Amino acid sequence: MKLTPDQKSICEQVINVFESGSPQGNYAAIAILKDGPHKERQVTYGRSQTTEYGNLHELIEMYVNAGGTYSEALRPYLAKIEVTPLADDATFKQLLRDAGRKDPVMHQSQDTFFDTRYFTPAMAWAESNGFTLPLSALIIYDSFIHSGSILGFLRKRFPASPPTAGGNEQDWISQYVNARHDWLANHENKILRGTIYRTTCFKSEIARANWDLSQRPINAHGTPVS
């Protein structure tokens, strides 16, 4: 799926707001959320937030191998992530904050990580299903960041077909966003119920037909992105 550099930047900025509160992204952002396996508390970290029981190990390994300022201090944690709960490890969390605030190597590692782990697979999925519009790219990318993929059970909750199956792209995206909004709004997990600002944003952009993302600013959870 082909986006201009400006369109890709807008997608990244909107997601950065959703995940860490600013269009530029907060590379040092840490949250402790009760959304790990069996609702266990876990560390979420970085510009677009990756999780302790998700892909945090991959990010930290990338940073350690890049020889950052805090690489050697973080190296022992590679054996602990996903093995020993780290939500209460003050040293680990401070190392992450310090690296995110002070070390350009961590910034570069995060930029590469979020692009290769989430953005590139999201665009590959979009292209393989025939999606071409920038707003579609943003919505699909958000699903990969927030849910890991386009969830199969959500696709069964609306009748539209993707473009590769003869469907209309705008119809599919609109119905998908509505289905995802309803799922989040009624989820048993309070944390997920609180994330409907994502789909609320997308519904607003669909309503004003901002399919090329040229209408600025975009209201991302109360923050203007332009």
Share of the chain above pLDDT 90, in %: 99
Q: H helices of the chain, where? A: 5-20, 56-65, 71-74, 90-102, 104-114, 120-128, 134-147, 152-155, 169-185, 190-193, 196-207
Backbone φ and ψ for 215, nearest 5 degrees, come out as -85, 115
Predicted local distance difference test score (pLDDT) of residue 128: 99
Q: Could you tell me which of 46, 44, 104 has the C-alpha nearest to residue 70?
A: 104
CATH number at residue 81: 1.20.141.10
Residue 224's DSSP bridge partners are 219
Q: Over pLDDT 70: what percentage of the chain?
A: 100
SS3 label, residue 188? coil
Range of the domain at 167: 5-225
| H or E stretch at 50 | strand 50-51
Q: How many separate domains does the chain show?
A: 1
What is the structure's pLDDT at 98?
Answer: 99
Which of 8, 17, 11 has the alpha carbon at shortest distance from 48?
17
* Helix or strand (DSSP H, E) at 218: strand 218-220
- The DSSP H or E segment spanning 44 is strand 42-45
What is the pLDDT at residue 197? 98
pLDDT, tens digit (0-9, with 9 covering 90-100), for 10-48: 999 999 999 999 999 999 999 999 999 998 999 999 999
Q: What global pTM score does this model have?
A: 0.94
How does pLDDT run across 106-143, given as a tens digit for each residue?
999 999 999 999 999 999 999 999 999 999 999 999 99
